[in-house]
């Protein structure tokens, strides 16, 4: 598998990644106390299909839904369900689409209503750690530089970085090489080459870094049941500065309008 993409392939991944961002904005529009998480899944699936794409996760290794929805102590790979969100929840929503043969994959953790300050800080810092990692995702660096930047930033706040789950390459397949851990050592791991496309996705726990998998065979949750946050962008390795293919702009425009 060639890990370096052509500009034409990168354009297609960008289109898929942008559709993910717009889909997550639809989620943002509808997320509020009282909504069932399966309703968000239906909205997302309809939106993706209306735009000529197919949900990237549905059927992937048997995953049954369009979105991974992981509430509070659930880290990733949670199932949408009849569970109603309540004031104070945080919700990781991870979305993938497949369009024109290429995947997009991005995640955002939403605050539902009034979330306590400690948990809000976890969200903000996890989001920030993603950009710290992206800063190091440049040609000539190594995978370990990304993980080190994320890990050292969040561990300064006493948070735990999930070890069991990692970011990945992205293209015609949802998960390609190389793995992109959110922890690591500077100067270690595979070299970053211009044109590689990576999904970088820190999963950061308020407490203990350890996670366990629930009996549904998918959902990961924190061992100590403290909350966990998750943000994900697709980026292409360039010289000097990575290009971010996905976007939170559509999401945050909706969230800002909701506040006003």
Size of the residue set binding Mg ion (CB under 5 A): 5
For Mg ion, give the closer residue by CB, 57 or 153. 57
Cβ of residue 17: shortest distance to Mg ion, in angstroms? 11
Element (H, E) at 50: helix 37-50
- Among positions 53, 107, 162, 203, the unique one binding Mg ion when judged by CB under 5 A: 107
To the nearest whole angstrom, how small is the minimum distance from the Cβ of residue 186 to Mg ion?
Answer: 23
105 binds Mg ion per the rule CB under 5 A: yes
Nearest to 105 by CA among 196, 201, 178, 180: 201
What CA–CA distance (Å, rounded) separates 14 from 11? 5
Using an 8 Å Cβ cutoff, are 218 and 78 in contact?
A: yes
The string of DSSP letters for 27-75 reads HHHH--TT-BHHHHHHHHHHHHHHTT-EESSTTGGG--SSEEEEETTEE
Contact with Mg ion (CB under 5 A) among 162, 199, 203, 237: 199
CB of 64 to Mg ion, least distance (A): 16
Q: Locate 92 and state its tokens.
A: 């990781």
Nearer to Mg ion, 96 or 189 (CB): 96
Nearer to Mg ion, 165 or 223 (CB): 165
Task: Check binding of 229 to Mg ion (CB under 5 A).
Answer: no
**Which part of the chain contacts Mg ion (CB under 5 A), choosing from 1-9, 158-166, 202-210, 227-235?**
227-235
Contact 138, 241 (CB under 8 A): yes
Nearer to Mg ion, 107 or 111 (CB): 107
Report how far residue 212's alpha carbon sits from residue 220's, in angstroms, rounded to the nearest whole number.
Answer: 6
- Residue 94 sits in the site that holds Mg ion (CB under 5 A): yes
What whole-number distance in Å separates Cα of residue 92 and Cα of residue 108? 6
The residues of the shown chain that bind Mg ion, judged by CB under 5 A, are 94, 105, 107, 199, 232
């Amino acid at each position: 598998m060639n890990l370096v993409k052509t500009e034409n392939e990168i354009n297609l991944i960008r289109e898929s990644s942008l559709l993910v961002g717009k889909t997550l904005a639809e989620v943002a529009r509808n997320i509020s106390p009282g909504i069932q998480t399966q309703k968000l899944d239906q909205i997302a699936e309809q939106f993706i299909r209306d735009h000529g794409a197919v949900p990237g996760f549905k059927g992937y290794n048997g995953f049954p839904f369009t979105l991974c929805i992981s509430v509070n102590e659930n880290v990733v790979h949670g199932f949408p369900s009849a569970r109603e969100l309540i004031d104070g929840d945080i919700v990781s929503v991870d979305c993938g689409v497949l369009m024109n043969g290429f995947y997009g994959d991005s995640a955002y953790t939403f605050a539902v209503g009034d979330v306590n300050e400690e948990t809000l800080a976890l969200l903000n810092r996890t989001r920030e750690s993603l950009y710290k990692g992206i800063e190091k995702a440049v040609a000539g660096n190594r995978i370990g530089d990304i993980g080190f930047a994320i890990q050292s930033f969040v561990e300064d706040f006493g948070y735990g970085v999930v070890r069991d789950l990692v970011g990945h390459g992205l293209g015609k397949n949802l998960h390609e090489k190389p793995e992109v851990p959110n922890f690591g050592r500077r100067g270690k791991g595979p070299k970053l080459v211009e044109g590689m496309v990576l999904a970088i996705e820190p999963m950061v726990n308020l407490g203990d870094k350890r996670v366990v998998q629930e009996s549904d065979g998918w959902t990961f949750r924190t061992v100590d049941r403290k909350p966990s946050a998750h943000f994900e962008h697709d980026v292409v390795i360039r010289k000097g500065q990575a290009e971010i293919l996905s976007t939170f702009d559509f999401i945050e425009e909706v969230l800002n309008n909701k506040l006003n």
